[in-house]
Every structure is written in C-alpha cells, then in structure tokens.
Amino acid sequence: MTQRTTSAIAVAASRAEVMAVIADFAAYPTWVDAVKEAEVLARGSDGRPAQVRFVLDAGVVKDEYVLAFDWDDDTAVRWHLVRGKVLTAMDGSYVLSEAVPEAVPEALSAAGAGATEVTYTLSVDVAIRVIGMIKRKAEKVVIDTALTELKRRVESRG
C-alpha cells in the first residue's frame, strides 16, 4: 500500500469559501508559487473541473501533468494523476470540516467568524528513484506550503 502524508490547518472562512478557492484553478498561478500554468480541460456535471492540466516548476521537480478530480460538494475533493512526464503517480485530497474551537484564533472566536479545518493528504511517485523517507519529507513540505498558501489566499479575500 502506498504511504500517504497528511497535514491540516484552520482557515478563517466557511467550507464553501475555501472550496471556491480550491476549485478556481485558473487563479493558481497567481498564488501558488510552483504552479506556472493551470488549465481546465473538462468539467463535470456539477460544473466543477473534472480534469486540469498543470505546469509545475518546484525547483528540483518540473513537470506538465493532468489530474482528474472528484468533488464531494463543499466537504472534499480528491484527485489522481491521469498523465505526467516526471510524476508517475499523484493521489491526494482536501477534506474540509468545521474547525474545532481550539484551532481557531481568539479573535475569530470573539468575532463569531466561522472557521474550516482543511486536511490535505498526498502521495506522489516520480520517475527518478527517491528514498522513501526523503519522499515523505518532500511531500510534507509540499503539503505545508500548499496549506499555508491556501489559508493566505482564502483569508485575504475576506
């Protein structure tokens, strides 16, 4: 079984607001450092992106790849790799839930603002040989960076 890396963050916004940012792939190049291009290739019956082409420049890893997405309203989105050049597998998800009060900063709780806990899970394989421990550490950096960028983007829109 493929190992997965998981991390979570609290975002001062509703699930719908967070999911709207996640689903807006055309905007990714403006707020996700490693994504240079993102193009929706197909949409599902719900109107959300079903396949998206990405051009990635993450320093050591540069690739052009296509991901297929499966949406569960505003509670989760899962994806898997359709094709890539350097990437040979990528399975991931964002799962959104109501943030627990301890995860919400005092100011948000006092203001009565809602918050969403975003849990990001990722498993990646690349065409080059990488030791498992190093791969997990790289996934952790990718996840933590993505969550921080997502939080910044969502909260800056409010």
Q: Which residues contact 156 (CB under 8 A, 6 or more apart)?
A: none
For residue 114, give its domain range. 5-157
Quick check: helix, strand or coil at residue 91?
Answer: strand
What pLDDT score does 127 carry?
65
Quick check: helix, strand or coil at residue 59?
Answer: coil
Amino acid letter for position 23 = A
Question: What's 148's domain CATH number?
Answer: 3.30.530.20
Instruction: Give the number of domains in the chain.
Output: 1
**What whole-number distance in Å separates Cα of residue 3 and Cα of residue 16?**
29
Could you tell me the sign of the dihedral formed by the alpha carbons of 124, 127, 133, 137, in that order? negative
State the average pLDDT for the chain.
Answer: 85
pLDDT tens, position by position, 5-57: 899 999 999 999 999 999 999 999 999 998 999 999 999 999 999 999 999 98
The CB density around residue 71, as the number of other CB atoms within 10 Å, is 19
What pLDDT score does 101 carry?
59
Q: What's the length of the chain?
A: 158
Q: Let me know: does 25 contact 12? Beta carbons within 8 Å.
A: no
| pLDDT grade for 61, boundaries at 50, 70 and 90 | confident
User: In sequence order, what are the beta bridge partners of 86?
Assistant: none
Residue 85: pLDDT over 80:
yes
